[in-house]
Structure 1
């Protein structure tokens, strides 16, 4: 049965939800407080990464985070502030930063991300629009024995999940990536990458052409609730009614949740990117292990990105962090010098981070027609297709492609 569905949020999760709901024959509208031209869905590394089977909440992260939180140039920065939601989030993060949690989460993350990668491939093969989708894998590159050991442990975990991982010697790496200065790498062959900016623009255009309504630069103000159902929502411009609501508003999802009386532990994790619109000689996506910096050869440019800055939702660009990404690039690629102009052109996005590194996907128990799809942290691009598919299955009353229990909205209550 066709339903009228409203999605709050026009990022990768929102657009993919619209795509799969449309395929199921539903009438879809998307509301976004911005114009769908910027944000985390446009500035990420473009990875579809089954390799990332370790959740953010892992052993050692709390101790590392405490050390790094006083250094604004560090890969992970948590700005100290008095905020009860942040305290609750941090307490749960600490609770889940265990080996037991990593072991139970790894197969969930792997299956989720592989499904998403395969769905990306389906869209590519369908020919509805053309976009970069390359199965070139991902290099986890290192310069020191300490990080070789660390990456070897992570590679073993990935292999236990059935992923194809090879160790690449310094000589072999030089042949693959002549511009890179590293002692070796672990090569994850199951990974793929895309150009996010291009995919987002083309998916947005495609959905519009197929009848999806977009209400942009429009902010959700309030909701009308009747008999455990949301009957309609009120924006700063209009009132909309619907059968089902999907909240996919990224780092703003917890704000929407509060309006609905739903507890949702999500913190905004700001990440930055620098684009180089010139030849760099870089052939493969890579993560520079010691520096937690991502590198992506995209369609027409090379992107360097990274950092996780948990400092609330603010529009300030922390130049210290951007400059650190530029410095990190030169450490592994000595021939690349990022200019001041390229640094000034840096952009950022907010990634919605849950305490345990898994997203929130599913219906709200207290509200019969409200669904959430958020909290993916750095994995939103990697898991966006599968999330959209799951949301469409939930709303269409179909058996879901994956078990939704690990993504329960109530798991921290």
Structure 2
């Protein structure tokens, strides 16, 4: 495929993983990223590989809960009141997707793509293409302080076990024993041994370096403005700096995807779900990744620092940081780990990223029906990091015309939300 060139729009985890697998297949690849790089959801996420997260965000009661929290500036789930037709349509599709039946149907699909991706992370590490990078398999703790959250997670754990995932139910004493001298407050936890964790900025930097050395062009601060198309094919891609005539295009532009496809007469229901993170570059004593269930806060011991991440804020496409929400993360950590101190300076240095959220909790992966040379890779919500390599591999397979490693029908970019 050396004579075919592919243009990837977006330099996050989806764009770089797509570039990685297309390069392996012999394609000439160019990646366009409108930012300077090093920012966004691909760099500030919790770094989890989570086959255990079998329940999609679009679960029964989520919208109702979000509406009830609209007046609480420190709630873990927040919807900013605003007049936005695209958001209204997305919210209605989200509501229609939030049924018990659809959640049960989505669970094995989410598990399978996460397991595929976890295997691919291992393969990338074993290949030494990127040299060595941080990837640990200590599992993931879901720590709860109330019976309501504990019982809900035990139901999820039971389903995970039925699907063949390894999980252990810990009582309060077992949870404390697992932490040694580190004080932790919780009634118990579910320990998912199938999960792993990594350091996103390390992986992204090494992937970028490998791709550039391998001949992949990565152009930062270059924004796609419009497309020229005819006869079910996109002919040209115009940016603020150049014009490209690729054979194929992979749209991996996250929360900005719908704005780009609108000019093609397409609709891609995606909303930006903002998340925040605090990085503490000093010893915290935390050695195991954990999610604090009541607060929806994720804690990850990364390479050289500990990351505290959380919130799902639907407030449009912006990088505004609401310090109330950041402080809520720090306060939640204190309730579970009373000896961990997060300073005001660390809170002020918090970063945010915009997760692209589809209405049904499943990503968009595959070719569009309207254009022969347009492929979509977005909509992964909170599991983008976990699903990155799998998405890249699936995109490379469908672009080449091969049978993909998974059935792509559930990920159809033009599926209807009925």
Could you say which TM-score interval applies, normalised by the shorter chain?
over 0.9
2:240 corresponds to: 236
Unaligned runs of 5+ in 1: none
Query: Structure 2 matches for 1:72-221, cutoff 5 A?
Result: 72-128=73-129, 129-177=131-179, 178-221=182-225
Q: Deviations over 1:119-150 (max 9, x none)?
A: 00001111122110111100000112221111
Contact between 2:319 and 2:353, CA under 8 Å: does it hold in 1?
Answer: no
Q: C-alpha distance in 1, partners of 2:301/2:35?
A: 28
1:249 corresponds to: 253
2:35 corresponds to: 34
Q: Deviations over 1:290-343 (max 9, x none)?
A: 110000000110000010010101121111100100111111110012101100
Q: Is 1:386 matched with 2:390? A: yes
Q: C-alpha distance in 1, partners of 2:134/2:374?
A: 34
Q: Is 1:313 matched with 2:314? A: no
Q: CA deviation at 1:36?
A: 1.7
Q: C-alpha distance in 2, partners of 1:10/1:35?
A: 10
* Bigger mean CA offset, 105-114 vs 79-88: 79-88
Contact between 1:54 and 1:102, CA under 8 Å: does it hold in 2?
Answer: yes
Q: C-alpha distance in 2, partners of 1:260/1:225?
A: 8
2:67 corresponds to: 66
Q: Runs of 4+ in structure 1 displaced over 3 angstroms? A: none
- What do you get for the CA RMSD once the two structures are aligned? 0.9
Q: C-alpha distance in 1, partners of 2:70/2:392?
A: 34
2:290 corresponds to: 286
- Number of positions where the alignment pairs a residue of Structure 1 with one of Structure 2: 413
Q: C-alpha distance in 2, partners of 1:112/1:209?
A: 29
Indicate the SS of the match to 1:291: coil
Q: C-alpha distance in 1, partners of 2:236/2:132?
A: 36
Query: Structure 2 matches for 1:399-410, cutoff 5 A?
Result: 399-410=403-414
Q: Deviations over 1:258-280 (max 9, x none)?
A: 12221110000100000011111
Instruction: State which of 333, 340, 343 in structure 2 corresponds to 1:336.
Output: 340
Indicate the SS of the match to 2:74: coil
Contact between 1:176 and 1:283, CA under 8 Å: does it hold in 2?
Answer: no
2:12 corresponds to: 11
1:268 corresponds to: 272
Q: CA deviation at 1:70?
A: 2.2
Contact between 2:32 and 2:219, CA under 8 Å: does it hold in 1?
Answer: yes
* Bigger mean CA offset, 338-347 vs 178-187: 178-187
Q: C-alpha distance in 1, partners of 2:359/2:81?
A: 17
Q: C-alpha distance in 1, partners of 2:280/2:18?
A: 31
Q: CA deviation at 1:69?
A: 2.1
* Bigger mean CA offset, 286-295 vs 60-69: 60-69
Contact between 1:179 and 1:281, CA under 8 Å: does it hold in 2?
Answer: no
